[in-house]
Chains A and B, each alone.
Chain A
Amino acid sequence: MNSRNWTRRFTHLWIVALALVITAAWSLPSAEAAWKPTRPIEFVIMAGKGGGADRIARLMQKIVTQNNWSPQPLVPINKKGGSGAEAMLYMKSKQGNPHVILVTLNSFFTTPALRKLPVSYKNFTPIYRLAMDTFLLWVNKKSGITNVDQFVKAVKAKGGKWTMGGTGKMQEDQLVTNMLSQAYGLKGLITYVPFRGGGTVAKNLAGGHLDSTVNNPAEGLPHTPNKMVPIAALTPKRIPAFPNVPTFAELGKPSLVYFMMRSINAPGGIPAGATKWYSNLFTKLCNSDAWKTYTKKKALNRACLTGGPLASFFADEDVKHKKLLKGMGLIK
């Protein structure tokens, strides 16, 4: 009995020793040399194929591949379920894995709060912010509306039947709609109609099926200026692509500012070397000509940010979004 116990303990010892040697052998080189990806990098996208986030991710893949910036391929993976819930829970299960990164939108803050998910922005390692997408208020050209005063009048005249299209429910577009109706006292007068994608929303406005939208510039551009027109921008300064469109701040509503971020996050607990490697990669990307041209064409704000400032930016955004959702009575 005793001797068997001893043998068993002895075997255990051997296994432990072996494991130690293997781990040491495995971790030694990575500790000495600078971190570099050794496997294909999973590039998780919290939207379906063909959506806005998907496009951005595939563009980044293009730029990185063309310039040979990564020794391993970036592999886009779409996890579109539950407005980002699926992607965020997936990332959480990859805690500590430096070969997975996530392209995030503002649902990075809203979805965990609305769904009461066991995950939040704090479970991630902030890597980079590449751009801030802007919002404009659009109307159909045929409506004849050219400024916000006319817009407010028209909404009131319709007695609650004014429609505003947007992507999804309780996401960016509806938050913006809500900010608008609060600022102009239009509560209960605007009916929000959720659609699946920004392109569809714009098309429905262009076709006259909706009264207004808060599309991003890129979504509205194909139909401008013959079908739909922007009447005001939700930015602090005028958008260069629309020099004649006033901002809400100019119209006396400085609180009407909203952006959609395009940023990159890695799972929590990854090696510091990996954070640095990714940060360098996306710094190169954000300052590349390809990215500059793209952001200009799509009227995006190129907004490169990393490190500590990015972390505090995330914290601010989280507070801001919780406040917005609370204002709508969606969370407590």
Chain B
Amino acid sequence: MEILGNLFYGLGIALSPENLLMALIGVVLGVAIGAMPGLGSVNGVAILLPITYAVPPTSAIIFLAAIYYGAMYGGAISSITLNIPGASTAVATTFDGYPLAQKGQAADALVTAAVASFIGGTISIVLFTFFAPPLAEFALRFGPPEEFAVVFLAYGTFAGLGGESPIKTLIATMMGLLMSTVGTDIVSGSPRLIFADITGFYHGINFLVLAIGLYGVGEIFYTLEGGMQARERYQAKMGIREIAATIRDLRRYTTTLLRGSLLGFFVGMLPAAGATPASFMSYSIAKRFSKESVQFGKGTIEGVAAPECANNAASTGAMLPMLTLGIPGSPTTAVMLGALYVWGLVPGPRLFIENADFVWGLTGSLYIANALAVLVALFAIPFFIWMLRMPMTILAPVILVVCAVGGFSPTQDMFDVYLMFFFGAIGYFFRKLDYPLAPMVLALVLGGLTERTFRQSLIISHGSIGIFFDFSGHPIAATLMWLSVATFAVPVISYFLGKRRLKF
């Protein structure tokens, strides 16, 4: 097998002492940056890019990939311990991770997140190693109608995220979509919903601002209700034995992990979709098929495993179109693509031939970085548990300050910090009144892509909606569309057939 030979060659490059050191530093930095609210992998990679200028491209990409992986793990840490998603990819991890932490099982959740990520990442890397070029061909077949169909399918999974009241779920979803329309209308190029001519609206409502506001700041308000002194933080225990037990326990969820990883890889590979929808889809599919689906949202290990394996799998998947086609599958890979150009490499099929050292060194390092990341994450767990033991009266103000800094950093605009505080208030009211928050966040993430691909498709088809259902012209789109129609229809039909226990 030629590929195996190449792979060992790549592993050899990745295992050279200086590259190993780069990977280790990258992973540690990545975990730290990912755990900080506001700074996900995108900002991590962009900010640390200058550090790579001093080393050769192969070491540099190894460093960036390590940051990317580390940040994916780190995001889960703040999701679980503080209910603040470090990045959009980690939002779904809060659903069960935080309830677990509140029950005193933070360590279990953290271990699960690390191991599930490792599994997702590894499966994805194996697929990447063996099938990169043919899969790139496949990804090329996704134009606007196909992309819209994928997103549409993702909406089918919203059903799993709702609260008790369907009408309130609807409101939350529509609010998220509405927020995604603020800024510039891509199709006409005109400014849209710029209230009171505030420049801060020009760049649209940043996902992180909403997520940190709703979850982070809102959570603090919610906690304050009991008075800061009154709240006793839970005790969490942690040791090698607990870790081993949790890992052994994970075997029960093999199907969930496998499904989530495959799903993550394929969704991540499609340009523009990325890891966030993948993690949501994996979560709600796991919920639908789980034997313990009532436990979802109340703190179950499976609810942490599902999104975490998917988002890591997707982050590897997103590298595939970046290297083979020169199109980024996620915002982070967009920055890495920039780096590629800076180093004078041209992505595309020829990269695999002309810069084999680079490509196989990177592939090898993906295996190494993934393994290192799980180790670093496991070693970091005691530190985060220690942090959780701090009294709320110290933790709450510090978190608020970090949220403010985190909200400011990506756009350098104080307006975003004001907006974040405002979303904190909304988050507080919505939580108390049973409006679900997750659909709002996911709708904001998907909204722009949905509208854009839908309208691009219609411009291409001259206004005919038939483009989405045309089996001869767009077979992939049509298949996906009918599949999503079925996804929507099944719960509705079963509801009317009287199976009321099937919640959606």
Residues on A facing B (Cβ under 8 Å): 48-51, 54-55, 58-59, 61-62, 65-66, 73, 76-83, 85-86, 89-90, 114-115, 160-161, 163, 168-171, 191-196, 199-200, 202-204, 206-210, 218-219, 221-223, 226-227, 293-294, 297-298
Contact = CB atoms under 8 A, between A and B. Distances in A.
Nearest to A63: B53
B202 to A, nearest CB: 3
B328 A79 contact: no
A55 B338 contact: yes
Given A82-B183, A169-B189, A58 B338 contact: yes
Given A86-B203, A170-B189, A62 B456 contact: no
Nearest to A170: B189
Given A54-B335, A66-B53, A221-B346, 20 more contacts: A50-B328, A50-B333, A58-B49, A65-B53, A79-B411, A81-B184, A85-B202, A86-B199, A90-B199, A163-B459, A192-B459, A193-B456, A196-B186, A199-B326, A199-B327, A202-B326, A207-B140, A207-B143, A222-B326, A222-B349
Nearest to A163: B460
Contact of A50 (B186, B202, B203, B338): B338
24 contacts: A48-B334, A55-B341, A58-B338, A77-B412, A79-B411, A80-B203, A82-B184, A89-B199, A161-B462, A169-B189, A191-B462, A193-B144, A194-B186, A199-B326, A199-B328, A206-B140, A209-B460, A210-B460, A218-B346, A219-B326, A222-B347, A223-B325, A293-B344, A294-B342
A50 B331 contact: yes
A90 B412 CA distance: 11
B227 interface: no
B188 A169 contact: yes
A115 to B, nearest CB: 7
A79 B42 CA distance: 15
B332 to A, nearest CB: 9
Interface in B21-43: 42
B337 interface: yes
A325 to B, nearest CB: 12
Contacts of B191: 82, 85, 115
A112 to B, nearest CB: 13
6 smallest A-B Cβ distances: which pairs? A50-B334, A81-B202, A209-B143, A169-B189, A222-B348, A81-B203
Contacts of A90: 199
B452 interface: yes
B187 interface: yes
Nearest to B185: A169
A193 B459 contact: yes
Contact of A62 (B53, B350, B459): B53
Nearest to A59: B342
A68 to B, nearest CB: 11
Nearest to A160: B462
B191 to A, nearest CB: 6
A73 B344 CA distance: 23
Contacts of B239: none
Contact of A223 (B46, B54, B348, B412): B348
Interface in B184-198: 184, 186-189, 191
Contacts of B325: 203, 206, 222-223
B221 to A, nearest CB: 29
Interface in B41-100: 42, 46, 49-50, 53-54
Contacts of A160: 462
A303 to B, nearest CB: 19
A251 to B, nearest CB: 28
B45 to A, nearest CB: 9
Given A163-B460, A203-B140, A203-B271, A61 B189 contact: no
Interface residues of B, number: 52
Nearest to B141: A207
B142 interface: yes
Given A55-B338, A62-B53, A200-B271, A168 B189 contact: yes
A12 B456 CA distance: 65
B347 A59 contact: no
Given A81-B203, A89-B199, A204 B328 contact: no
Contacts of B326: 199, 202-203, 219, 222-223
A81 B183 contact: yes
A207 B142 contact: yes
Nearest to A66: B53
A298 B54 CA distance: 22
Contacts of B143: 204, 207-210
B382 interface: no
Contacts of A204: 143-144
Contacts of B46: 49, 76
A221 B327 CA distance: 12
B189 A65 contact: no
Interface string B125-152: 0000000000000001111100000000
A225 to B, nearest CB: 10
Nearest to B334: A50
A268 to B, nearest CB: 18
B369 interface: no
B405 to A, nearest CB: 15
Given A199-B337, A207-B141, A223-B348, A194 B189 contact: yes
A203 B331 CA distance: 17
Contacts of A163: 459-460
A200 B189 contact: no
Contacts of A222: 325-326, 346-350
A157 to B, nearest CB: 16
Contacts of B202: 81-82, 85-86
Contacts of B341: 55, 59, 218, 294, 298
Contacts of B462: 160-161, 191
A208 B141 CA distance: 8
Contacts of A203: 140, 271, 321, 325-327
Nearest to B43: A49
A226 B187 contact: no
A193 B142 contact: no
A76 B335 CA distance: 13
Interface in B333-373: 333-335, 337-339, 341-342, 344, 346-350
Nearest to A80: B203
Count chain B CB atoms within 10 A of each CB in A54, A77, A194 and give the residue with the most: A194
Contacts of B142: 207
Contacts of A58: 49, 338-339, 342
B156 interface: no
B204 interface: yes
B380 to A, nearest CB: 27
A79 B412 contact: yes
B203 A169 contact: no
Contact of A81 (B144, B204, B460): B204
Contacts of A79: 203, 411-412
